[in-house]
Amino acid sequence: MSSTPLPAAQAPFVLLPGFMADETLWREIEPALAARAPVIHGSLREGDSIAAMARHVIASLPERCVLVGFSMGGYVAREIVRQAPERIAALVLIATSGRADSPLQAQRKTAAVKTAQAGVFRGLSPSSIRASVHVARENDAGLIDAIRQMGARLGGEVFFRQSHLVRDSDLPALAAFRCPTLVVAADQDRLRSLDEARELQAAIPGARLEVIADSGHMIPLEQPAALLQALTRWLDSLPG
């Protein structure tokens, strides 16, 4: 006889960071999440494709989990749902998209790689970091340095690997998702638009959309309290 699947309210959290971000992305909300259920950090350091990254994470997944993917991690999270749907009790997609990279985004990544290859990699450039936060936080030295340090810790090899990842659109495939899904977007995100969040919500059956006010792309670091409130409110609404 098979055991009853663990409900989302009791399942461990598996947190996936974004491009050149590490586990410290979640430092502000992790204590509160850990008070609800165990927290596991999925690594996106390995793998030269979204599918390969997903396989690497699946190898260390618990039997059931609440899968939380930020930005690039949202692409990996959705691939995990496709590869191992029985392991996902619920899905949270933060500041991400179902679209393929635009030619301009691809061009910017190529330029960033060429710039980094010209010298020692010390993290993302100040200009790219400033573009990832709310305009009012562009001169927040502590926030900007925390983001830069994440990239510096990951190093040049991971930067080159992640920069060359191909992100294809998966919107048509999302109709097959059956896990409860929360889409979280920021109202002042200059990297991922509200339209992209709405596309994800519309494509995934039953998905809910929460918009975080006064935040740029880096929601977990810019507005952790609001993010935590949205996440816990949604989790508490799920069937037990």
H/E stretch holding 152: helix 141-163
pLDDT of residue 118: 44
Asked whether residue 80 falls in the same domain as residue 175, the answer is yes
CATH number at residue 30: 3.40.50.1820
- Cβ–Cβ under 8 Å, residues 116 and 156: yes
Low-confidence ranges of the chain (pLDDT < 50): 1-2, 118
Asked whether residue 174 falls in the same domain as residue 223, the answer is yes
Q: Which of 129, 163, 197 is the last residue of a domain?
A: 163
Asked whether residue 87 falls in the same domain as residue 21, the answer is yes
Asked whether residue 90 falls in the same domain as residue 21, the answer is yes
For residue range 191-221, list pLDDT tens digits in order: 999 999 999 999 999 999 999 999 999 999 9
Q: Which of 121, 148, 163 is the last residue of a domain?
A: 163
Answer yes or no: is 41 within a domain.
Answer: yes
CA distance 7 to 10: 6
Answer yes or no: is 6 within a domain.
Answer: no
Closest alpha carbon to 130 in 115, 112, 148, 117 = 148
- Cβ–Cβ under 8 Å, residues 95 and 192: yes
pLDDT of residue 1: 36
CA distance 238 to 240: 6
Range of the domain at 72: 13-101+167-237
pLDDT of residue 2: 45
Asked whether residue 139 falls in the same domain as residue 171, the answer is no
Q: Which amino acid is at 67?
A: L
Answer yes or no: is 187 within a domain.
Answer: yes
Answer yes or no: is 213 within a domain.
Answer: yes
Asked whether residue 174 falls in the same domain as residue 76, the answer is yes
What is the signed CA dihedral for 102, 106, 112, 118, rounded to 10 degrees? -160
Answer yes or no: is 2 within a domain.
Answer: no
Asked whether residue 91 falls in the same domain as residue 187, the answer is yes
Answer yes or no: is 5 within a domain.
Answer: no
pLDDT of residue 220: 98
Answer yes or no: is 8 within a domain.
Answer: no
- Which ranges of the chain does DSSP label H, i.e. alpha helix? 30-36, 50-58, 72-83, 103-117, 126-131, 141-163, 194-203, 219-222, 224-237
Asked whether residue 97 falls in the same domain as residue 176, the answer is yes
Asked whether residue 117 falls in the same domain as residue 158, the answer is yes
Answer yes or no: is 65 within a domain.
Answer: yes
What is the count of structural domains for the chain?
A: 2
Asked whether residue 18 falls in the same domain as residue 60, the answer is yes
Asked whether residue 21 falls in the same domain as residue 53, the answer is yes
Q: Which amino acid is at 158?
A: V
Asked whether residue 146 falls in the same domain as residue 42, the answer is no
- Cβ–Cβ under 8 Å, residues 28 and 220: yes
For residue range 177-190, list pLDDT tens digits in order: 999 999 999 999 99
CA torsion sign for 161, 163, 166, 167 is positive
